Amino acid sequence: MPTFLTNRKMNRALAARVEASVRGRPHRRDSSAARRIVSLARLALVLCVFFSIYTVLTLRRSEQREPEPSSTRPGGAQTKSARPADGGTAVTR
């Protein structure tokens, strides 16, 4: 919000310093660069959190999909192979 302490004829740098003084904040020239750095740091933090959640969920899912040694096959059909003594084929139930 502008104040009555500045006008159009004043130097821009002086007007900015006066406005900053009225607001109670120091005038920074590189505030846009600092904002970019802060926004990039926040983005990196959010991406790290999402990547961590994705990794945990992927590991849990892969642990759940690992079949037990005597478990069913992926198709859901249980198979039992029996080899007859005469060298016949396997029997599927």
Number of separate domains in the chain? 1
Confidence of residue 75 (pLDDT cuts 50, 70, 90): low
Does any domain span residue 72? no
Does any domain span residue 89? no
Does any domain span residue 88? no
Domain that holds residue 23: 12-65
Does any domain span residue 43? yes
Q: Tell me the whole-structure pTM to 2 decimals.
A: 0.41
Helix%, strand%, coil% for the chain, nearest 5: 50, 0, 50
Does any domain span residue 61? yes
Does any domain span residue 80? no
Does any domain span residue 30? yes
Q: Which residue has the higher pLDDT, 89 or 1?
A: 89
